[in-house]
Structure 1
Amino acid sequence: SPESGYVQFISLAELNEQLKKQGATLWVYTPPGSWVLKGTPLAYVEGECDLSALLENFTLGDERTVEQDARFGLVILSEVASRALSPGVNDPGTAIDVIHRIERILWSMGQGMSDPKRDTKPQFERVIIGTVSATNLLHDGFASLMQDGGDRFDVMAQMLKAANRLSKSDWPDLANAAKETRTATLGIIDRRIDDPDAVKALHQKAKET
C-alpha cells in the first residue's frame, strides 16, 4: 500500500484485463472496507507482471465508502439506530424502523443467493477475492444496536422477531446466522433487562415462528 487508509474501490474490470494480458492472477488480501497501513500488502500476485500498473486500480482514502463495501452500508444504518437510542434522543421508533430496513435488505439478499437461476460464473476470473459471510452482515447490522437497546423491551422484541423471520431464509448461511443472532439477543436480554416477567415474555417470543 502506498499510504495508510481504507480500501475504497478496486477497478476490477481494468485489473482483470491487465492480469489476463500478462497471464497472472491476483489474490486480493484487502477487499473494499479494509483498513491498511502504508507498506503492507494489498494483494498477492501469481505470475510476472507490472505491479505498479496493478496498484493504480486500488483507490484508498481516509473514510469508508459504500460503493463496493456493502458491510459499511449496514454499519451506517446501525449507527442511526444507536444514536436514536441515546439518552438525549430516546427515539426507539427509529431504531425499530432500522431493524425492519436491515431485515428487508438481508431477506432480499437471501432470496438472491438461494435463487437457482443465479449467475455464479465469475466475471473477473483473474481476480480472487473473499466473500462476505451472512454472519458478518448480521453482526454489522445488529450488534451495536442490540447493545444500545439491550435494556428496552420494545427494541429487543423486534430484534427477536427479525431473527425469527430471517431464520426461515432459503439461504442456509443466513438462516443459520439468524439463529445465532437470536441466541445472542436472548443473552443480552438476560443480562440487561431486570424485570423477570419481561424476560420471560421475550423468551416466549423467541420461540414464535
Structure 2
Amino acid sequence: MKKVLLSLLAVAGCLLASSEAVKAQTPQQPLKIGVFDIEIMMQVMPGYRGVDSAVQVYERDSLANEYDFYQSEYHRLDSTYKADSAAGKAKSVLDLQKQSRQQVAMNLIYWQQIAENKSQQKRAILAQPITEKVVAAYKKVLDAKKFTLVLKPNSFEFFGSSAVENIFVLVAKELKVALPQELGGTGNVESDEAKPAGAGTKPAPKAH
C-alpha cells in the first residue's frame, strides 16, 4: 500500500512539474484595454430618439392613467369598507375588502419604483432591434481586436490615454454610424471611419 501511495505521489509531482513548464513556455497575452458602454452607444444609433419619444408618451399616458386608476380604486374601496363596517357586515366580507384596499395602497406607496420598472421594460422592448445591432457589432470588434479588459467610460480617470483604446469608434465604424465628439467622433460617418481609435474625450453620462 505504501509503495502504491509513493507511486501516485510521484506521478502527481511529474504532472504538476509538466504543467508549470508548459505555462512557462506559453507567452502571456499582452494586456489590451478598451472603453465601451452598450447603453451609451445605443443612444447614438438612428432610431433611438424614436424609442425615447415613445417611452415618454407611454409614461405620460399609460402610466399616468394607471396611477389615476389606483387612486380612484383606493378611494372606492376605502369608502366601501367604511360603509360596510358601519353597517355591521360580516367579518369575512370586511377582511376581503380590507385586503383589496391594502393591495391597492401598496401600489400607490411604491408607485415610483413600479413605474420606473415598467418604463425600463417598455424601453427594452422598443429598443431590442437597436440593442441586437450594437451587441453584434461589439462582439465582432471584440473577436477581431482581442481586448483583455473593457471598462465603462466613467470607471477610470484618463480616457484619452494611449494605453486605452476607444471601442466606441470601432463599433461605430462597424455599424456605419456617425459618432459625436464626446465619444471621440466628428459627427460624420466618413471622418469617423478614418479617425484613430485612441482619440476621444470622456463620454457624457447618459441623459434621461
Give the TM-score normalised by the residue count of structure 1.
0.22
Greater strand share, structure number: 1
Structure exhibiting the larger radius of gyration computed from Cα positions: 2
Structure of greater relative contact order (alpha carbons < 8 Å, 6+ residues apart): 2
* Structure with the bigger percentage of helix: 2
